[in-house]
Each structure stands twice: as C-alpha cells, then as structure tokens.
C-alpha cells in the first residue's frame, strides 16, 4: 500500500501537469480555429482514435497483466508487443481508408475526407504508445511511465503551437499531433530497448495464445467504453453540424479532464490488483481507492459548478459560452464515470473482463438510445443529459456487481476505516510534518 500511495502521488502530480499542458493546447486550438474548426479537428482525432480501439484487440490489459506476473522474458514481451502494434497499425490504416471511401459522407457530414485521411498517419504511433506504456505499468516502472506521458504532453503542445503559429488551419493542428506521437513512440521504443536488454521480434506463439484471448475478452468492452465516451461527439456532428460539435467538444473535453484523479488511481490499481495474491488486500485496496476518488472528485465538481462560467469565458473566449450549461450537466456524470472506472479496472485486474463487458453493453445501449432521442430534441444539452444518465446507471451497476463479487457491505465500501486513517496519518507525517511515518506497507 505504501508503494501504491507513493506511485499515485507521483503519477497524479505528473498527470496534473500534463493536464495543464493539454488544457493549454486545447485552448490554443479552440482560439485559433474557432468553434467550427475545433469541431472538425475533434472529429478527425476521434475518428483515428476509434479505428485504433478497433485494431488494438484490447491488448493493453493483457500486456500489463502478463508483464506484472513475469510470464514471458523481457525481450519477448517487448518484441512481440512491438510486432503486434506494427501489424495492427497497418491494418488500422487499411480499415480507415476503406471506411472513408465508403461511408465518410454519410457518417461525417460537413467534414472533408482529406482531414480524416490525414489523421490515419497517427495510427502506428497511437498503437505503440499505449502498448509500450502497458509494459512499463506491468513492471511498475512508474517514473519512466510518467516521463513518457510528460514528454508526449510537452511535444503535443509545442508542435501544435508552432505549426498553428506558422499557419492557422486544421491540417496544422493534425500535423502537430502526428509529430508528437511519432517522437513519443520512438523515445519509448529506445527506453524499453535498453531496459529489456534488446528485442526479440520473432513471433512467440505462446505470447499470442495467452494475450489475444485475454485481450479479445476485454476488447468489446474497450470498444463500448470508447463508444460511450466519444459517440456523443459523432452524434452531435451528425445531427447539428461542426459548429455545435466544436461547442460541445469544449464541454466534453473539460469535463473529462476532471476524471484525472480516478483515471490515475485506476492505472495504479490494475497492476496492484493483478499482481496481488492475497484476496483480503485486494478487498481493502479497491474500496480505499473508491472512497478517495468519491470524496476528492465531489469537492472538485462542486467547485467547477461554481466557477464554470468565468473559467470557460477566460480560457476559450465568449465564442464558447454556449458550452457552459452542457459542461455543468456533464459534471455529475463524471462522478459516476469514476465509480465505473475504478470497479471495472478491478474486474479486469482479477481476470474477469466479462463483468466489464456486461456493464459496458448496458451503458452503450443507453447511450445510443438516449442520444438518438435527446440530441434532435435538445441539441448539445441533450447530448450532455444522455452522457450523464448513461454513466449514472453504469456506475451504480458496477458498484452493485463489485459488492456481489467481494461480499463487502455498503458500510465497508463507503465508510472510512483504519486503512484510510493510516494513509492520512502517513501523508500528514510525510508531507506536512516532514518526518518519517510509522505507517508501514499493508
């Protein structure tokens, strides 16, 4: 537990800085391109990300899982992860081109196909980055993992700013993204090449026999989760056009940045749960993460509800003031996103992705149904309501399933216990009083 807290604090501070960089990049893109240009850029990026989710076959989870258990030699794990990423990257480019040629006019009205084609150049790098980062997480090499994310954030901001300064266009923003992904994936490759003592890129049948079935189990869940998180953007563009998409994208991106805390803790939770053999420790750790996320995120959401109007006006200008009310509607949904993320991470780390799959099927059905009804009726406010309602139901469902699996009571889940007190005392001693805490790892 002590190592978990240390890694979380390091990762959270690192991700907070990355969030700041990402926010600056988002503001620069929005102010430079305006609501309509921001909408086109968001759809192009979301399209490439969706193709990546389809092509990756859920491999990030098994790569992290089997790395944490030392199932394969380092060279084989590294080499076969790179091999898979390159093959899947090529397949994703082909799939993307076919989709653009056949369906871009029907599914992406108002979006020129050149932007979608250009976004395909991200594919191999977008696959390499999460898969190589999964190796670092499995090894619990949190420092290097944080460094790679920080590098990507700095490069993303730098290249986008430079190219938009050279020429204000959607192509400039997309080119900046592509260059940052290429440099980050190259740096990760070199770091792991050294850390693994080389690379064995020869296909290992045992690696694929174990990783692919595990990944495919969680793959549908990943597609459904992406569908719910990004689908409202596509629906808004389909029904309302690029201008409304740009306005809504600011609301959604800002709201999803609030999820920094649960996302970070979930990343730390997966290798901790998957590598833990003691069920009692598992039953202590996940509820502790859940309570911490619930408490801190509730405070953050209340604060953002109050300051949302001056915040959006200051950052994005008055052209995006229509983002305020949708943003406020999305915030309660983000609280339930955090509940969903914590418990579905636990399910996957236990090797039970079927629970996550069930929850995500329900969530995707609700998302499709509610967006189809509410967006034509209420516009981007309807999209926000559909998002929050879908995740409220999914968050509650994941909580109920976790309670059933672990046999924990609601009191054990919601009320602080000796672990919470020990962690608080340790943090106060370590970072406030600056003295060594008597608290030892649990």
Output the pLDDT for position 440.
45
Output the pLDDT for position 274.
60
- Specify whether the CB–CB gap between 131 and 85 falls below 8 A: yes
User: Per-residue pLDDT for the chain (442 aa), expressed as one digit of tens each?
Assistant: 455 566 656 666 766 777 788 888 888 888 888 888 888 888 888 888 888 888 888 888 888 878 877 788 888 888 888 888 888 888 888 888 988 888 887 788 878 888 888 888 777 788 888 888 888 888 877 778 888 888 888 888 888 888 877 777 888 888 888 888 888 888 989 988 888 888 888 888 888 888 888 788 778 877 887 877 788 888 898 898 888 999 998 898 888 777 766 666 666 665 666 665 666 777 777 888 888 888 888 888 999 999 988 989 888 888 888 999 999 999 998 889 888 888 888 887 777 778 888 888 888 899 889 999 999 999 999 999 999 999 899 999 999 999 988 888 888 888 877 766 776 666 666 655 665 544 444 4
pTM for this predicted structure:
0.78
Q: Considering the domain boundaries, does residue 360 fall inside one?
A: yes
Q: Considering the domain boundaries, does residue 58 fall inside one?
A: yes
Q: Considering the domain boundaries, does residue 208 fall inside one?
A: yes
Output the pLDDT for position 441.
43
> What are 161-176's pLDDT values in tens digits?
888 777 778 888 888 8
Q: Considering the domain boundaries, does residue 438 fall inside one?
A: no
Q: What's the total number of domains in the chain?
A: 1
> What are 195-240's pLDDT values in tens digits?
888 888 888 888 888 888 878 877 887 788 787 778 888 889 889 8
Domain extent at residue 77: 2-432
Q: Considering the domain boundaries, does residue 442 fall inside one?
A: no
Q: Considering the domain boundaries, does residue 440 fall inside one?
A: no
């Amino acid at each position: 537990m002590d190592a978990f807290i240390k890694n979380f604090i390091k990762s959270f501070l690192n991700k907070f800085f990355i969030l700041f960089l990402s926010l600056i990049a988002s503001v620069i893109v929005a102010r430079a391109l305006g609501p309509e240009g921001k909408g086109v850029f968001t759809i192009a990026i979301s399209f490439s990300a969706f193709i990546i989710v389809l092509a990756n076959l859920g491999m990030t989870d098994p790569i992290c899982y089997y790395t944490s258990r030392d199932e394969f030699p380092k060279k084989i794990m590294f080499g076969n992860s790179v091999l898979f990423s390159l093959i899947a990257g090529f397949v994703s480019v082909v799939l993307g081109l076919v989709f653009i040629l056949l369906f871009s006019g029907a599914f992406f009205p108002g979006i020129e196909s050149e932007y979608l084609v250009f976004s395909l150049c991200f594919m191999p790098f977008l696959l390499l980055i999460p898969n190589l980062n999964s190796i670092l997480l499995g090894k619990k090499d949190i420092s290097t993992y944080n460094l790679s994310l920080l590098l990507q954030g700095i490069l993303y901001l730098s290249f986008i700013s430079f190219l938009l300064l050279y020429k204000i266009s959607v192509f400039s923003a997309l080119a900046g993204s592509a260059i940052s992904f290429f440099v980050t994936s190259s740096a990760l490759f070199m770091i792991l090449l050294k850390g693994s003592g080389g690379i064995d890129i020869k296909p290992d049948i045992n690696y694929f026999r174990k990783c692919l079935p595990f990944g495919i189990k969680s793959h549908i869940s990943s597609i459904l989760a992406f569908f719910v998180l990004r689908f409202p953007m596509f629906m808004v563009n389909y029904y309302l056009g690029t201008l409304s998409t740009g306005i809504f994208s600011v609301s959604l991106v800002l709201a999803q940045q609030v999820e920094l805390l649960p996302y970070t803790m979930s990343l730390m939770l997966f290798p901790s749960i998957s590598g833990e053999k003691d069920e009692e420790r598992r039953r202590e750790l996940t509820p502790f993460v859940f309570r911490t996320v619930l408490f801190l995120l509730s405070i953050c959401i209340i604060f953002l509800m109050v300051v949302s109007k001056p915040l959006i006006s200051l950052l994005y200008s008055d052209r995006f003031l229509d983002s305020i009310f949708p943003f406020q509607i999305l915030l309660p949904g983000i609280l339930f996103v955090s509940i969903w993320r914590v418990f579905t991470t636990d399910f996957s780390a236990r090797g039970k992705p079927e629970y996550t799959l069930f929850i995500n099927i329900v969530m995707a059905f609700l998302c499709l149904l509610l967006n189809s009804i509410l967006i034509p009726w209420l516009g981007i406010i309807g999209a926000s309501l559909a998002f929050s309602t879908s995740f409220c139901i999914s968050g509650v469902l994941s909580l109920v399933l976790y309670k059933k699996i672990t046999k924990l009571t609601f009191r054990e889940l919601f009320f602080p216990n000796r672990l919470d007190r020990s962690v608080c005392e340790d943090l106060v001693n370590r970072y406030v009083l600056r003295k060594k805490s008597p608290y030892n790892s649990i």
